[in-house]
Structure 1
Amino acid sequence: MMKNPEQTIGNLIDKSTLTFISYIDEEGYPITKAMLKPREREGIKTFWLSTNTSSNKVKFFRDNPKASIYFVDKRFFRGVSLVGTIEVLETSEAKERIWREGDTMYYKEGVTDLDYCVMKFTVLRGRYYSNLKSEDFVV
């Protein structure tokens, strides 16, 4: 059993360069996409990610907010799957909160670009894998 899940899992997440995010399409099938790591996180409970408003994942999250995100540490062959819900946020406060210098590479019109939005992921539970064992936890 993990001594400090928030620290152990938080360290794994902070070292990850990619986030794998899954959503359900209109036919009920899971779709997984790789994204950049979250812009912010509050412990292991809430994650803030940026994406294009026009993306399929935003379309499907508006219909069904159930989601999972996965982080992997390839070096030590460990990972964590987090299950929860996504809110699509388009407020100026949310967009400014996670905007970074250089984001105009993705969003040409800057922080007010209509094709820029924020996804706020709130975790319900997770499953951590390390040392050939898996462990469920509630957040």
Structure 2
Amino acid sequence: MLRDIETTIEELIDRQGVSFIASVSEDGFPHMKAMLPPRKRVGIRAFYFTTNTSSMRVAQYRKDPKASIYFCDSRLFRGVMLVGRMEVLEDPASKEIIWREGDTLYYPKGVTDPDYCVLKFVATGGRYYTDFHSQSFEIA
């Protein structure tokens, strides 16, 4: 993939206040959910989100890690979908990395709350849409 497109996609992602994650349900249908932006991003390859360990989405990812995430700039009508796999991380180091002050609102027992986990999405490819055109790409 061309570097300038990757930079454009990174900038699009960083400006969004909402991200969308998708999982595969037990009956094989995609389930989409709006989320806060990722807490950490490594290029367009890895993304880290916080969520509740007890959530339906975590159960789905544990059963089938296939996933996609989507970011959309509705003002300019452009977006990027990334496909890959979602990992559920519960180790202390992963939880510490993306913990923020104020997270006790969602996880009252703090960073060690058993209902707090990290979703790590690793992309293998995607599709970028802008100016009435789309382009597929792979991520090495």
Please say whether Structure 1 and Structure 2 have the same fold, judged by a TM-score greater than 0.5: yes
Percent sequence identity over matched residues?
55
Q: Which residue of 2 aligns with 1:73?
A: 73
- Where in structure 1 do 4 or more consecutive aligned residues deviate above 2 Å? none
| Correspondence list, 1:72-111, <5 A | 72-111=72-111
Q: Distance in 1 between matches of 2:62 and 2:3?
A: 37
For structure 1, list consecutive stretches of 5 or more residues without a partner in the other structure. Answer: none
Q: Which residue of 2 aligns with 1:31?
A: 31
The code of the aligned residue for 1:117 comes to C
Does structure 2 conserve the Cα–Cα contact (< 8 Å) formed by 1:40 and 1:48?
A: yes
Query: Is residue 135 of structure 2 the alignment partner of residue 135 of structure 1?
Result: yes
Q: Which residue of 2 aligns with 1:17?
A: 17
Other structure's SS at 2:101 match: coil
Q: Distance in 1 between matches of 2:34 and 2:94?
A: 22
For structure 2, list consecutive stretches of 5 or more residues without a partner in the other structure. Answer: none
Instruction: State the TM-score, normalizing by the size of structure 1.
Output: 0.97
Q: Which residue of 1 aligns with 2:126?
A: 126
Matched positions, count: 139
Deviates more, 1:102-111 or 1:1-10: 1-10
Q: Which residue of 1 aligns with 2:4?
A: 4
| Correspondence list, 1:55-74, <5 A | 55-74=55-74
The code of the aligned residue for 1:16 comes to Q
Does structure 2 conserve the Cα–Cα contact (< 8 Å) formed by 1:2 and 1:8?
A: no
Q: Tell me how large the CA RMSD over aligned residues is.
A: 1.1
